[in-house]
Structure 1
Amino acid sequence: MKPIKAGLIGYGLSGQVFHAPFLQSMPEFELTTVSTSKQEKAEQDLGHAHITPTPDALIQNNDIELIIITAPNEYHFPLAKAALEAGKHVVIEKPFVVHSEEGKELLQIAEANNRVLSPFHNRRWDNDFLTVKKLIEGNALGDVTSYEAHFDRYRPHVRDRWREKDVPGAGILYDLGAHLIDQALHLFGSPKQVQGMARAQREGAQVDDYFHVLLDYNPLQVILHSSSLVRATGPKFQVHGTKGSFIKYGTDPQENQLKEGMLPNQFGWGVDSEENYGILTNDEHPDGIRVPTEKGSYESYYEQLAAAIRSGNQVPVSGQEGLNVIQVIENILHSS
């Protein structure tokens, strides 16, 4: 397959850690251009890629087929719109957009131009979530009645960065909440009712750094929770059903591995430590049994993306799925 020539808008944490390593290491892609103000850092890391300070030249470059947008959330919509109208396939770092009306417009433009449009919900390929999904689909828990997922951290001090400033799309609900919501919708579909609260708890916080969400599927109840003031974390997942329960501690290692420079083809990629294996308790294992965690696989997103662009296969995450997440976030904010 001819490599897909890609351009990357933004070279902050997301561009550096979650996108560039795959675009550089996978034969399906060729990272040719990066738009960033961090020219020295990008040149040091990326070598052959052309660096431009503004996205316009990248969007208008006829050689580029795919544009990945990792700019601050409030710029997702205008940049994606311009890229789609220029005939590019587009990946948008989550959250998809800030407002659902923006997402609806992007879907229309992508369809009119026959372009791939996909939000980057990479945590569908977290090792713990893949394990939960496998157990649910394998009926190890029976009919799921309660699903609780946490994304807790201990970050007591407000940092000077756009994600923590009072700008559109900032705050932990749009950031970590988008991941947890997407995972829940991927498993269970659209809820019948949404309730939730988003709050600023830390001194000096300008935007929400805490949320607690209930998605009602009746009888299934889904709880999604995140806080920046959790020093001793509890389970990441607690899933209960008519046949059993699954409790899982720890977090997927891929983010830290990427920060350390590891690539998907290296030994240990996406592998959980045995001490973090979850406990399954059911009729077959009334005293509980450790379940080996599935291997994490962020690269699967980009493998499926390449197949969608080159062969017309299904996209790894659709624009409609990204829009569904934003609509749930809007309902949470209305409830809050």
Structure 2
Amino acid sequence: MNLKPKGKFLSGFHYERELLKAFVANTYVETVGNRADSLHLAIKNVPISNIYWEYLKTVEILGTRFGLNEKDVVLAFDYTDENFYGDPQGFWIHGWTGEKAVTGKWKFLTCAIVSSDIPQKIPLISVPVRMGHNMAHTVAWCLSMVEPLVKSISLVLFDRGFYSNELMLTLSKTKHPYLIFVPKNSKIRKELAEMEKNEKKTVQHKFKLDIDKTVLRGETTLALLKQIFDKRSDKLYDWAFATNQSSINLDHIIASYKRRWRIETGFRVQDEACIMSKSKDVSIRFFYFAYEQVLQLLWVVLYKDEVSFKVFMLDMYEECVTRYKNI
């Protein structure tokens, strides 16, 4: 953040205190100090792409602590959001119900590590998404950004909201192995109705996609599991997945998918502290979101075994205040 405590002009050092104070207090940057306007101007004066590249550089540096570039990783994608209070305008603020005064949502697509053998379940990249965005293209772009950080991507996990022909075609074309939880549509319900309890099977599913008057054809494997007992809930469930993996182990496919839930754990950690702002500028909102994730990165990789995330945040803020007083 260009930390220059004795510089002639305001730098990241002067903004850091306000950012951490808003972060710890879960409140607005505009209410914790008098530098919000200059901070927002500084953010808008750089391309939004700088946020991506600086974040990826941070991941790469911290990744050296646990050999990230030598890892075969399992990744998960999911959407998360942050509340907006005010008049939602433009295509970046998604409309909301107004419940609890929340009138809109800033939405972000995140790609995170969920591998069982890697303790550092860190977000590798996040992007803000506008209404009507192309999900398949956005996922493919994120994968292209994180691939240089790791040895290989062994599997990419998605929940049912990502089940789409375009995404499956795109991932097969880019040769990324995927496992997607499939909604129980009429075809899936029909197949499951014909199965016995505890039965597991695969079905080849061919599909087509019309894009710009061009018909594209694809194929995926549907993995279906009927009335499988879940120890945690003590209940029976039906499961349906789509995958392009060449080898499918139906006895372990549910456990493989459940690793996706770890990305939600990361979201809950980040929700413990959120930098709020009245700004409607997507660059500013994305900067704050990325800043939150950088702090999460630092904690997961360097301090998680020593202190809780909340204690880490407070220590960071107190250290910043101390340094500010000593200049």
TM-score tier, shorter chain, comes to: under 0.3
Q: Higher relative contact order by CA 8 Å / sep ≥ 6: 1 or 2?
A: 2
Which structure: larger Rg? 2
Higher helix share: 2
Q: TM-score, normalised by structure 2?
A: 0.28
